[in-house]
Amino acid sequence: MKKNCSNLLNISAVFTALFLLFICSGCIILNKNKKDLRPDIEYFKINPSTLQPGSKAILYWKADHADHVTISEFGDVSSQGSMEIYPAEEQTYEIHAQNVNGTTSRKFTVRMEQTQIQSFTPPKVKTTTSNPRIIYFRTNHSSITPGKRIVLQWYVINAEQTEISGLGHVSLKGSRNIAPNKKTTYILTAKNGSKTSTSEVTVNVMSTKLKLYKPKSVVKTNAIMPAPKQISPAYGSRFSHYPRNMTLRWQSVKGAKTYTVQVQYNNSREWKNFKIDKKLRNPLYKLSFIGAQPGRWRVWAINSKGESGYKSPWRNFSFTR
């Protein structure tokens, strides 16, 4: 009886060990698959996708497993977000999502609606030169803040020559992006032989009002220290050595008393802090990285008053074992 019980216990132990080995093997394969994922663009769209020139649309995007995301016309962006755009003509936007395993891209084209012109019955004229007719001359905003771009639109018929003040000769129908820095009146002049028609559009530019005061003395402020220039490792470096020891190096910053280094790792879902070390007196930092996975680092200077300078950009690297 005792011998049978002992045999049963041995068999149970063997099955338990095999089960645990199966589970661990699955975890290793799963982690490897996550580490080898290429960036994925879940969505990249514009709403509405068809609109009038200069009208507002919203650009939406989301990228997964990406260390670096850019959109044409706008540069670097976060991995998920939205922004207002005001295209004046048909335009194609492109998003690029990148990590150590490669780059994924997607395009989206926003199209312009055909402008609906109100029908009209032209007057009967003799077989002489017709008067030029301005169907419309308008902007999508009559008041703007300094630096904002708006769209100027026009449509003219029965004209040999069309001109807009400040813009020169233009076609009979079209649109133009403008960004006046002060109140401006644009005059459209259409000519057909000796006959002329004109129309005006005024754009008001709202100025920012500032309180006027006479300072008793001028206080000099120290300029913010520049971001340290990173030297090594190079952006996108991949390492396969173990232990995962590495040295971060950067150029010294004038006026810096100490430096702060921030190191993060990516667990295939998000970036998390690994180390934030302060009061480093030399422009280098040695560490042993955690795990075979992507990482990134940046550094900034601190002056004698404890004020922080600009932070350097993130510099990515990865360990494969």
pLDDT in tens, 37-86: 899 999 999 999 998 887 888 999 999 999 999 998 778 889 999 988 88
Has residue 25 got a pLDDT over 70? Answer: no
The H-assigned helical ranges of the chain are 2-35
Architecture of the 133-205 domain: Sandwich (2.60)
Q: Which CATH architecture has domain 40-112?
A: Sandwich (2.60)
Inter-residue contact 131 to 195 (CB < 8 Å): yes
Per-residue pLDDT for 313 more than 50? yes
Which pLDDT tens digit goes with each residue over 183-239? 999 999 999 988 999 999 999 998 766 555 566 655 555 678 999 999 999 999 999
- Least Cα distance to 160 among 121, 208, 187, 193 occurs for 193
Same fold for the pair 133-205 and 230-319: yes
CATH of 230-319 given 1.10.10.10, 2.60.40.10, 2.30.110.10, 2.60.40.1180 = 2.60.40.10
pLDDT for 28 equals 47
| Strand runs labelled E in 48-172 | 50-51, 57-64, 68-71, 75-77, 80-85, 91-99, 102-112, 133-139, 143-144, 150-157, 161-164, 168-169
pLDDT of residue 24: 53
* Higher per-residue confidence, 116 vs 76: 76
Beta pairing partners, 51 = 112
Strands (E), 233-281: 237-239, 245-250, 258-266, 271-280
* Average pLDDT of the residues of the chain: 84
Query: pLDDT band for position 10 (50/70/90)?
Result: low
Residue ranges of domains in the chain = 40-112, 133-205, 230-319
310 confidence band (pLDDT: 50, 70, 90): very high
Token pair belonging to 141:
């905003």
What pLDDT does residue 119 have? 53
